[in-house]
Amino acid sequence: DNYRCTDEILSVANRLVSFNQERHRKVLRSTKRATEPVRFEKFPDETLEAERIGLEISYLIAKRDRQPSDFAILFRTNEQPRPFEAELRRRQIPYVVLGSQSFFDRKEIRDLLAYLRVIARPDDESALLRILNTPARSIGATSVEKVLKRAVVSGDTFFDAARDAASAGEITERIAKPMLTFEAQLGKWRGRFKQPGTSLGDTLRALIDEIQYEREVEKLYKEPAQVQTRLESITQLEDALHDYTKRTAHPRLEHFLDEMALNDRDEIGGDNKKELEKNAVKLLTIHSAKGLEFPRVYLVGMEEGLLPHKRSVEGTRQDIEEERRLAYVGVTRAQESLTLTFAETRRKWGKPRKTIPSRFLFEMRSDAENEAAVAENAESG
């Protein structure tokens, strides 16, 4: 017997794994009766998939006495969590990414958000210090230290202190010049982002091109796969700005940054961060979820090319069977509630592409011979 899942969740899992020709697992049964059905839901795109799940989690925490730690969002690849992270941040719901790096902890995302923070808030000196020499601007650490000391004593901004330091002969005009050139560049972009009707995502792209940030990525990472992953992250940040603009009547850069801040969780460290994460929604790959269990699970991105993964779709029957076993693991992480979702379109490199619902959805619904049935019968989000 299996005491973890409800009988309905286990029934769906057993039905799925029964499609494997090489079965090493006995059929498990549950003594725990289901209080709600397994749900299959479709959404027009991955942004609405994340928004609907974020809304439901928010509602259940507020109205049903649920804790954030009751929820887990499981996915197949590390490229999937960005819209869920953005949505949970927007709703101020604490979360933690287990087994991989948070989208917002990636160097390129921290760098570009620091640019946006300085553009939106000129007095954000911690963000300024992060980007002052990223990409390199021939601004030496010793010169920065001299300017910072003057700024602390005088209470001036970094750039005002740089001007005064140059006038006082503490740094040369040659050293001050790249600092003040950068100040003017930031001022120009401040104006661009504030122009009425401007596209925040397109403006970020123009900024990235001007500072040649992608060339910086290519210098930092020698492996082509690493470079591609980092560049895809940058595209996802542009997507996040486009998503924000679509759902907001009067989009402003400052407001977007406030949504992404999640109460400055990124600045919390050590034991405090660990304590915060104890009661948090868990975002993790199915591989990372092995051995774990959660009261309420969302298994997202149930699409051909994601689950089963593209490599397996192009591989052998054994590869598909391995993916099916992985899907079984995902399904059986749920103790009380299981929701399986797919998006009808999903962006790749910023462009929406049509998807095909995962064959595993058909199998779990006993519709393996009628692939249209799942798409038609899944609840629309």
For the cut 60, the answer to whether the pLDDT of residue 1 exceeds it is: no
Domain residue ranges in the chain: 7-94+265-380, 107-253
Structure confidence by residue, pLDDT tens digits, 112-148: 999 999 999 999 999 999 999 999 998 989 999 999 9
Q: What's the CA gap between 92 and 16, in Å, rounded?
A: 36
Q: What's the CA gap between 315 and 292, in Å, rounded?
A: 29
For the cut 90, the answer to whether the pLDDT of residue 65 exceeds it is: no
Q: What's the CA gap between 364 and 136, in Å, rounded?
A: 53
For the cut 80, the answer to whether the pLDDT of residue 33 exceeds it is: no
pLDDT at 35: 72
CATH number, span 7-94+265-380: 3.40.50.300
CATH of 107-253, one of 1.10.287.310, 1.20.140.10, 3.30.750.24, 1.10.486.10: 1.10.486.10
pTM, two decimals, is: 0.86
What's the helix, strand, coil split of the chain in %, to 5? 55, 15, 30
Q: What's the CA gap between 246 and 191, in Å, rounded?
A: 21
Q: Token pair 């868990």 is at which residue?
A: 282
Q: What's the CA gap between 129 and 170, in Å, rounded?
A: 19
Read off the pLDDT of each residue in 210-233 and give the average, rounded to a whole number: 94
Comparing C-alpha atoms, which of 313, 296, 298 is closest to residue 355? 313
> Using omega within 30 degrees of 0 as the cis cutoff, is the peptide bond preceding 178 cis?
no
Instruction: Identify whether the C-beta of residue 288 lies closer than 8 Å to the C-beta of residue 99.
Output: yes
pLDDT at 85: 97
Read off the pLDDT of each residue in 287-299 and give the average, rounded to a whole number: 96
Structure confidence by residue, pLDDT tens digits, 228-278: 999 999 999 999 999 999 989 899 999 999 999 865 555 545 556 667 678
pLDDT at 374: 47
